[in-house]
């Protein structure tokens, strides 16, 4: 017969996370998502705001900063989590959500541009040749 030995592993402690903590996290996420959406909508629909990011010759300095700043904010918040105060982290998170909205407006402008081009090409095709 085989000799079977059993090894008992130490129990893994189960840590209960209070539901109020989870609710607070979702509140902050919802607020940041709302801020990003509003800023993206304004920068995507208002030519005055869009001209701050893009001009006739290409992207402006603010446009380049807007593209690369979210990565910097994520790194700063990640590495400074234990060193920064909660107020500083909240301010960084809110500024991050504004910058993300500005950055997302680039994507919206590109998609809207392609949509308008597609519509324009198909309208001309329908009116001129009736072959499309």
How far apart CA 122 and CA 3 sit, in angstroms, is: 79
Residue 128: the pLDDT is 54
User: Which residue ranges make up each domain of the chain?
Assistant: 19-128
**What is the 3-state secondary structure of 38-50?**
HHHHHHHHCHHHH
Which residues sit opposite 59 in a β-bridge? 54
User: What pTM does this model have?
Assistant: 0.70
Contacts of 82 (CB under 8 A, 6+ apart): none
Residue 40: the pLDDT is 92
Nearest to 46 by CA among 102, 95, 84, 96: 102
Residue 123: the pLDDT is 66
Contacts of 109 (CB under 8 A, 6+ apart): 44, 50, 54
Which residues of the chain, if any, have pLDDT below 70?
1-3, 5-12, 14, 17, 114-132
Residue 124: the pLDDT is 59
Contacts of 98 (CB under 8 A, 6+ apart): 35, 36, 39
How far apart CA 73 and CA 57 sit, in angstroms, is: 28
Residue 122: the pLDDT is 66
């Amino acid at each position: 017969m085989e000799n079977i030995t059993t090894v008992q592993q130490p129990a893994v402690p189960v840590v209960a996370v209070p539901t109020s903590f989870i609710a607070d996290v979702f509140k902050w996420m919802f607020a940041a998502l709302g801020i990003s959406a509003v800023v993206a909508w304004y920068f995507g629909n208002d030519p005055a705001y869009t001209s701050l990011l893009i001009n006739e010759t290409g992207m402006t300095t603010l446009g380049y900063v807007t593209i690369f700043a979210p990565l910097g904010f994520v790194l700063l918040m990640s590495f400074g989590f234990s060193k920064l105060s909660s107020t500083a982290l909240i301010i960084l998170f809110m500024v991050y959500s504004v910058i993300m909205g500005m950055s997302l407006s680039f994507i919206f402008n590109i998609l809207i541009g392609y949509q308008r081009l597609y519509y324009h090409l198909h309208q001309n095709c329908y009116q001129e040749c009736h072959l499309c």
